[in-house]
Amino acid sequence: MDVLVVEDDDAIAAPLTKGLEREGFHVTRTANGRDALAAPPADVVLLDLGLPDMDGYEVCRRLRQRSGVPVIILTARSEEIDRVVGLELGADDYVVKPFGFRELVARIRAVTRRGGLTTTARDETQRIGRLQIDRRTRRVSVDDQEVVLTPKEFDLIAMLASDVDAVILRTRILEEVWDPHWYGPTKTLDVHIAALRRKLGDPAWIETVRGVGFRLRALT
Ligand code: CA
């Protein structure tokens, strides 16, 4: 698995790179945003927010414009607002510095995990009104226009689509799409739902059942 580490601080990047390589990852490291955007495609990006040449958020936004590569933000800014803004830009997760190496590796494995959903056959193209979901290629389209989703957003819609019109419980979504031991803010789920609604072009696709969960509707 190719990991792109975008971090200008050698004291963090050097041991991190060494540790990841010991875990069997192939690591490319860049120390600024420009080189990060020019780097070859990776399977996951670890992105520092405080870079010398440009804001990490901007790097995240530009990476997102061209691919669904999972992005984990490395940040010393622990304020909730930063976390939410990072997730709204399409980051999949974040760790606050100083972070434990084991925790980081667990998060890399979580965001790159594929095909964890068992409720529906994986190689089936599902049509839900104007929406089409292809689990084999992990592509989603509305009116035959592809909607570019992050891995977590795809997992989320695939799970909601496993039982159209049924209410899927928040707790079940957090367990299956995130992690059985998810201990981050549950606001993360709402942020991803908001991003999905925006990308699908109509908030009515996903109905909120307050305090309980969400329901995918078949809009025609
Ligand atoms: Ca930095």
Tell me the pTM: 0.56
User: Residue 20 has what pLDDT?
Assistant: 96
Contact 168, 213 (CB under 8 A): yes
For CA atoms 137, 140, 146, 148, give the dihedral sign.
negative
Segment (H or E) for 216: strand 213-216
Question: Letter for the amino acid at 156?
Answer: L
Distance in Å, CA 54 to ligand 1 centroid: 11
Distance in Å, CA 30 to ligand 1 centroid: 11
For CA atoms 46, 52, 57, 60, give the dihedral sign.
negative
User: What share of the chain has pLDDT > 90, as a percent?
Assistant: 43
d(CA 102, CA 100): 5
The residue among 171 and 30 whose pLDDT is bigger is 30
User: Residue 8 has what pLDDT?
Assistant: 95
Average pLDDT on 23-42 reads: 95
User: Residue 19 has what pLDDT?
Assistant: 94
User: Residue 118 has what pLDDT?
Assistant: 31
Strand partners, 103: none
Average pLDDT on 45-68 reads: 88
Distance in Å, CA 106 to ligand 1 centroid: 22
For CA atoms 41, 36, 97, 173, give the dihedral sign.
negative
User: Residue 83 has what pLDDT?
Assistant: 62
Token pair 């299956």: residue: 176
Strand partners, 48: 74
Band (pLDDT 50/70/90 cuts) for residue 86 is: low
Distance in Å, CA 9 to ligand 1 centroid: 5
In tens, the pLDDT along 87-109 reads 667 788 888 888 888 889 988 98
d(CA 123, CA 128): 16
Token pair 């995990």: residue: 113
In three-state secondary structure terms, 201 is: coil
Q: Is the pLDDT of residue 122 over 50?
A: no
User: Residue 180 has what pLDDT?
Assistant: 63
The token pair that represents 129 in the structure block: 């009104």
User: Residue 182 has what pLDDT?
Assistant: 60
Average pLDDT on 47-61 reads: 90
In three-state secondary structure terms, 52 is: coil
In tens, the pLDDT along 187-216 reads 788 889 999 999 999 999 999 999 899 999
User: Residue 121 has what pLDDT?
Assistant: 37
Distance in Å, CA 79 to ligand 1 centroid: 16
Distance in Å, CA 91 to ligand 1 centroid: 17
Distance in Å, CA 16 to ligand 1 centroid: 14
Strand partners, 169: 213
Segment (H or E) for 208: strand 206-209
What's the whole-number average pLDDT of the chain?
A: 85
Distance in Å, CA 45 to ligand 1 centroid: 15
User: Residue 184 has what pLDDT?
Assistant: 63
Nearest CA among 210, 209, 184 for reference residue 106: 184
User: Residue 102 has what pLDDT?
Assistant: 85
Distance in Å, CA 48 to ligand 1 centroid: 6
User: How many CB atoms sit inside 10 A of residue 216's CB?
Assistant: 26
